C-alpha cells in the first residue's frame, strides 16, 4: 500500500508537502482518491506502507516509466524522496518488491496530476443569463430582471468548484455553488428557496480547481431586480375631451368615436396590449397592440389612438396590459379597465301640434292650446 500518515486511501496517496492532493466538490470537500491533484510541483516525500518483505528483498520505484535505482528493504514501510521537481501535468508512480529468488510483488500504482496554475474566470463571460434578462434583449451592459431566482453564467477551468456571491445594496448575500462542466461552462441560480429581494446586486465569483488553486473575481458583474410595474395606478382612462368623449359631459364615457383614444401615466417606457370586450359577448371582439411610434409620452402621460378599430355601437370594456421594457413586468388586465359606450345613431326628433283647432293638418290653432313638441326616438 502506498500512502501517508494522514490518509486512509488504498493504492493512492498524497505527499507530506505540496498541495492537499484532493479533488474538491462545490462545498470544498475532498471527494475521491481516484482523482489526485497537487498545486505544488516540489513533492518531496512519498510514503509506502504495508509492504511484505523477506531477507534480501529490494524495492523498485518507477516514476513516469523510468525505474529508479532499487534499494534493499526490510520492514513494512519506506519513504521515497524524489530527486527533482515534477513538471506540470499527469504523472504515474509505481512500486514493487522483488524477493531474493527474483519473484516480483504486485505493483502499487499512483496516478496524479501537478497543476500550479490558478483557474481563469474571464469577466466578459460572467453575465446574467439570457432567460433571466427579462428586460430589453439588447441591454446586456446594465441588465434588469424580474426573475425570482436570477441565473448567472460564466466559464472557468473544467471541473473547477464555482462559488458565486450575490450581494445587494442592503447587505443581503445569497451564495450559490456548482461545478464547471467539461467545457468550463457553469451557471447558478441565486437562492433555491424564496425569491431574492428586489434591488441592485453585485456579483463575485470564486473558482477552485481540482488542485486547490483559487481565483477570486470581485465585482464580476451586476444586475438589478425590479418587480414593480411602472404604470401609475388608476390612470388608465379614455381621453376626456370633446372630440373623444362626445357625450353630454367629457367624462361620461359616451362617445360616437368608433376608435376612441386612451391615456395612462407611466414612470418609464412601456409596451401595451388592449383587449376589447362587448357587452354580452364572452370572447374579445378586438385586440390592439400599439406600435412604438404610436406611443406618445408627454410629461409622463401617454396617449394612444388605435388605428382601424371601427367598433360598432354598444357597451364595451377595454382591458389593458402594460409591460415595462426595462424589466418585463406586466400589469394584471383586471387592474386597468375602462367601460364606455359607443353610439353613432343620431336621435330623431319630430314635432306636431297637440291641438289643431283649425282645419285638420293646416297647422293653424288657437294659441291658448299650443303645447310643447313631443320628442320621438
Q: Can you name the CATH fold of 123-225?
A: Immunoglobulin-like (2.60.40)
Q: Can you name the CATH fold of 237-342?
A: Immunoglobulin-like (2.60.40)
Say which DSSP state 157 is in: S
Per-residue pLDDT reduced to its tens digit, 70-92: 999 888 888 888 888 999 999 99
Residue 260: all three cell numbers together: 376612441
* Ranges of each domain in the chain: 1-116, 123-225, 237-342, 347-377
Encode burial over 131-163: b for 16+ CB neighbours within 10 A, e otherwise.
ebbbbbeeeeeebbbbbebbbbbbbbbbbbbbb
* Selected residue with higher pLDDT from 138 and 335: 335
Half-sphere exposure of 191 (CA within 13 A, CB side): 14
Task: Please tell me the predicted confidence (pLDDT) of residue 24.
Answer: 38
What is the average per-residue pLDDT within 300-311? Answer: 84
Per-residue pLDDT reduced to its tens digit, 109-137: 888 888 899 999 999 999 999 888 887 65
d(CA 95, CA 3): 12
Per-residue pLDDT reduced to its tens digit, 175-212: 999 999 999 999 999 988 899 999 999 999 999 988 88
Please determine, for residue 337, whether its predicted confidence score (pLDDT) is greater than 90: yes
- State which CATH number among 1.10.20.10, 2.60.40.10, 3.40.50.300, 3.90.280.10 fits the domain covering 1-116: 2.60.40.10
237-342 and 1-116 share a CATH fold:
yes
Per-residue pLDDT reduced to its tens digit, 132-182: 888 765 556 668 898 999 999 999 999 899 999 999 999 999 999 999 999
Strands 254-255 and 337-342 turn out to be parallel
Encode burial over 216-255: b for 16+ CB neighbours within 10 A, e otherwise.
ebeebbebbbbeebbbeeeebbbbeeeebbbeeeeeebeb
Please determine, for residue 4, whether its predicted confidence score (pLDDT) is greater than 80: no
Residue 153: name the closest of 129, 174, 179 by CA. 129
Task: Please tell me the predicted confidence (pLDDT) of residue 270.
Answer: 80
Amino acid at each position: 500500500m502506498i500512502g501517508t500518515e494522514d490518509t486512509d486511501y488504498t493504492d493512492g496517496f498524497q505527499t507530506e508537502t505540496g498541495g492537499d492532493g484532493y479533488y474538491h466538490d462545490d462545498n470544498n470537500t475532498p471527494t475521491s482518491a481516484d482523482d489526485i491533484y497537487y498545486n505544488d510541483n516540489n513533492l518531496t516525500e512519498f510514503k509506502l506502507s504495508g509492504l511484505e518483505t523477506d531477507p534480501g528483498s529490494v524495492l523498485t520505484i518507477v516514476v513516469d516509466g523510468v525505474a529508479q535505482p532499487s534499494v534493499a528493504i526490510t520492514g513494512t514501510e519506506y519513504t521515497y524522496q524524489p530527486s527533482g521537481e515534477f513538471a506540470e501535468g499527469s504523472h504515474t508512480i509505481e512500486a514493487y518488491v522483488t524477493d531474493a529468488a527474483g519473484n516480483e510483488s504486485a505493483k502499487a500504482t499512483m496516478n496524479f496530476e501537478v497543476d500550479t496554475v490558478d483557474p481563469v474566470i474571464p469577466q466578459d463571460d460572467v453575465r446574467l443569463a439570457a432567460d433571466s434578462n427579462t428586460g430589453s434583449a439588447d441591454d446586456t451592459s446594465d441588465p434588469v430582471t424580474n426573475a425570482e431566482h436570477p441565473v448567472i453564467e460564466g466559464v472557468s477551468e473544467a471541473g473547477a468548484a464555482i462559488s458565486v456571491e450575490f450581494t445587494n445594496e442592503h447587505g443581503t448575500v445569497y451564495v450559490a455553488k456548482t461545478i464547471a462542466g467539461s467545457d468550463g461552462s457553469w451557471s447558478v441560480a441565486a437562492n433555491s428557496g424564496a425569491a431574492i429581494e428586489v434591488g441592485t446586486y453585485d456579483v463575485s465569483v470564486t473558482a477552485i480547481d481540482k488542485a486547490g488553486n483559487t481565483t477570486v473575481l470581485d465585482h464580476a458583474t451586476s444586475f438589478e431586480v425590479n418587480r414593480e410595474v411602472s404604470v401609475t395606478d388608476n390612470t388608465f382612462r379614455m381621453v376626456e375631451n370633446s372630440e373623444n368623449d362626445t357625450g353630454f359631459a367629457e367624462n361620461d364615457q359616451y362617445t360616437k368615436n368608433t376608435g376612441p383614444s386612451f391615456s395612462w401615466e407611466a414612470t418609464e417606457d412601456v409596451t401595451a396590449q388592449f383587449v376589447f370586450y362587448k357587452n354580452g359577448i364572452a370572447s374579445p371582439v378586438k385586440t390592439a397592440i400599439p406600435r412604438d411610434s404610436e406611443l406618445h409620452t408627454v410629461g409622463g402621460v401617454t396617449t394612444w389612438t388605435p388605428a382601424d378599430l371601427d367598433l360598432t355601437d354598444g357597451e364595451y370594456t377595454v382591458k389593458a396590459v402594460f409591460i415595462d421594457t426595462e424589466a418585463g413586468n406586466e400589469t394584471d388586465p383586471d387592474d386597468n379597465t375602462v367601460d364606455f359606450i359607443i353610439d353613432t345613431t343620431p336621435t330623431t326628433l319630430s314635432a306636431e301640434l297637440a291641438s289643431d283647432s283649425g282645419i285638420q293638418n293646416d297647422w293653424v290653432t288657437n294659441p291658448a292650446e299650443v303645447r310643447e313638441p313631443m320628442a320621438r326616438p
